[in-house]
């Protein structure tokens, strides 16, 4: 081959290699640019979410100390001018970047408010019969024996030393045997229970745990706020109270439940735990139920759960922070970022 032909071929190969190198560099630069934009937007979204947490903390700070109820700003999400304060929060007037605060992980309901953790049954303090009724609500398929077993498992996990529980049993060797720190520990307990029952246990455990979201908590001192308590949680409290109250039945507990919910639905709020002085003509058995549950109820709450999600308008990048804020010194009782 003539020398000129060889040189031409070599030059073409060099040009091809340089082109491939240039294309590679360009692709890498484009990827790095996308990553940089994502990191920028992700950081921006996180700060938007943090701003939402700070706003929620200010609202919690302003809750009156004497009592907590559902028509206050933290629960309605509305200020005194009836304006939504937890929806589409913007840090800059002309910016489309925003933050939303809701009580649920996936806001399909499009509701924007905070959630009172002390409207629920506390896993660290509830009696065994209350835990058994809670288990029946979490999984309606379980029978009374299984519900009682779940209650016992919860008690062993939280460290109860009752010898009737047999906490030294081999099946409890991996249980932590101290108070619940986060709600997710309940999922672990449920997994142990359903694993012992047989196949498909993980799905059953997750289903039961999902159903516990509005019913069970690990935050607070164990008392349930009668002004905010969920109807199912109140049913657990009253029906268990009826079991101990002189002359009371489940029908008496149901009637008392209806009186309390009706009183609240008409805008009533309890100013103390002497419910019998406020409710319309409770029967003697219902008064006995009230006397039994007095030590388990309150009119105040200190722990509030929220999910703050920051979203950047440019790319739709979002960051979510879920936390529980204790209003005593605005302490963070729980924190999780996605």
For 311, phi then psi, to 5°, come to -135, 130
* Helix, coil or strand: residue 183: coil
| pLDDT at site 19 | 77
- Angle, CA 338 vertex, CA 175 and CA 182 arms, to 5°: 25
Residues 318, 49: Cα–Cα separation, whole Å? 9
CB 336 within 8 A of CB 323: yes
- Contacts for 237 with CB less than 8 Å, ≥ 6 apart: 121, 130, 224, 229, 293, 296, 297
Would you say 117 and 132 are in contact if contact means Cβ atoms under 8 Å apart? no
**Cα(138)–Cα(144) distance, integer angstroms:** 13
- Strand, helix or coil at 30? helix
- Total-model pTM: 0.87
The pLDDT of residue 5 is: 67
* Residue ranges in the chain whose pLDDT is less than 50: none
- DSSP-derived 3-state class of residue 65: coil
Report the distance separating Cα 119 and Cα 237, nearest Å.
11
**Cross-strand bridge partners of residue 321:** 308, 337
DSSP at 53: H
CB 248 within 8 A of CB 288: yes
The predicted structure's pLDDT at residue 105: 67
At residue 244, the pLDDT reads: 94
Using CA atoms, how far residue 55 sits from 28, 85, 270, in Å, is 40, 9, 28
pLDDT at 35: 72
- CA neighbor of 130 nearest in space, from 226, 243, 256: 243
**Rounded Cα distance, 178 and 76, in Å:** 36
Q: Bridge-partner residues for 78, per DSSP?
A: 84
> Within 10 Å of residue 283's Cβ, how many Cβ atoms?
14
- Paired strand residues for 98: 311
- Residue 15: the pLDDT is 81
Query: What are the boundaries of each domain within the chain?
Result: 1-117+308-338, 121-298
């Amino acid at each position: 081959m003539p020398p000129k032909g060889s040189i031409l071929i070599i030059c073409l190969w060099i040009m091809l290699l340089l082109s491939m190198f240039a294309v590679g560099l360009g692709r890498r630069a484009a990827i790095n640019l996308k990553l940089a934009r994502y990191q920028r937007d992700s950081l921006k979204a996180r700060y938007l979410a943090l701003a939402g947490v700070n706003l929620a903390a200010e609202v919690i700070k302003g809750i009156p100390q004497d009592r907590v109820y559902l028509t206050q700003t933290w629960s309605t999400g509305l200020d005194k001018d009836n304006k939504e304060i937890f929806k589409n929060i913007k840090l800059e007037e002309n910016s489309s970047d925003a933050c939303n605060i809701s009580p649920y992980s996936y806001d399909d309901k499009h509701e924007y408010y905070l959630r009172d953790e002390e409207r629920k049954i506390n896993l660290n303090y509830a009696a065994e019969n209350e835990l058994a009724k809670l288990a029946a609500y979490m999984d309606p398929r379980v029978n009374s024996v299984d519900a009682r077993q779940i209650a016992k498992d919860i008690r062993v996990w939280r460290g109860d030393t009752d010898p009737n529980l047999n906490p030294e049993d081999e099946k409890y060797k991996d249980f932590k045997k101290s108070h619940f720190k986060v709600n997710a520990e309940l999922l672990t307990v449920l997994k142990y229970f359903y694993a012992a029952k047989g196949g498909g246990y993980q799905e059953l455990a997750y289903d039961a745990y999902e159903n516990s979201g509005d019913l069970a908590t690990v935050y607070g001192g164990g008392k349930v706020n009668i002004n905010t308590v969920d109807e199912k949680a109140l049913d657990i409290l009253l029906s268990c109270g009826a079991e101990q109250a002189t002359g009371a039945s489940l029908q008496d507990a149901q009637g008392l439940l209806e009186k309390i919910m009706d009183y609240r639905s008409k805008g009533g709020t309890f100013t103390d735990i002497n419910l019998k002085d406020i409710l319309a003509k409770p029967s003697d058995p219902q008064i006995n139920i009230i006397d039994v549950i007095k030590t388990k109820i309150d009119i105040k709450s200190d722990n509030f759960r929220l999910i703050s999600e920051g979203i950047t308008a440019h790319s739709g990048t979002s960051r979510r922070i879920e936390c529980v804020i204790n209003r005593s010194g605005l302490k963070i009782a729980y924190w999780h970022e996605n």
